[in-house]
Chain A
Amino acid sequence: GENVEQHPSTLSVQEGDSAVIKCTYSDSASNYFPWYKQELGKRPQLIIDIRSNVGEKKDQRIAVTLNKTAKHFSLHITETQPEDSAVYFCAASYGGSQGNLIFGKGTKLSVKP
């Protein structure tokens, strides 16, 4: 069945360093790839997304890249800050344009001051 693999499961960086989280997906029909941030005890919130007709998208310090051939996409956070500490989830749509999302298992990012 459809699957999204996310790595690493935990990531610790120093403030100011960059962080990269990678995901691979199995459904070649997937066309939408969002990233959600969940702070401790809070709800997941969308931080950035990308559609399959775009290779890269940036929003200030965060960016997402997509390689459809290899079926993987990545989240890049530059100049990390302590408030970036959270669990990050990637997701991929399945079942075509009307499909739902399948989520990765999450990456716990810790940014040390």
Chain B
Amino acid sequence: NAGVTQTPKFRVLKTGQSMTLLCAQDMNHEYMYWYRQDPGMGLRLIHYSVGEGTTAKGEVPDGYNVSRLKKQNFLLGLESAAPSQTSVYFCASSYSPGDREKLFFGSGTQLSVL
């Protein structure tokens, strides 16, 4: 099992450019999440999904969109990147039910917006 795989690992964007981050999990997890991590701010939830075809907003959803067309994949999109979106992005997934809260994280994507 590869677990949770994120691509790309690094990316540099110019302000206004768009991009998509891909998260894939091979553990048959129902729940998937996108977090951002900024120095001194911990992990903040951007969007999440409780199953194929569903998405919901987290703590900091503005400027991001997501899609969960297949159970194993969760995409995070930035339509018009801003310097404030420079961050490390982590995807995570969890079992259901009962162990929903135990998160398995991907290795992260370092995004810089110039």
**Which residues from chain A sit less than 8 Å from chain B, CB to CB?**
6, 9, 32, 34, 36, 42-46, 49, 89, 91, 93, 98, 100-106
Contacts and interface: CB of A to CB of B under 8 A. Distances in A.
Given A46-B102, A102-B45, 5 more contacts: A34-B101, A44-B103, A89-B42, A101-B103, A103-B44
B41 interface: yes
Interface residues of B, number: 19
Given A43-B108, A44-B105, A98 B100 contact: yes
Contact of B43 (A9, A45, A89, A98): A89
B106 to A, nearest CB: 6
Interface of B: 33, 40-45, 48, 58-59, 90, 100-103, 105-108
Contacts of A89: 42-43
Contact of A34 (B45, B59, B102, B106): B102
B42 A43 contact: no
Interface of chain A, main secondary structure: strand
A85 B58 CA distance: 30
B42 A105 contact: yes
Nearest to B90: A43
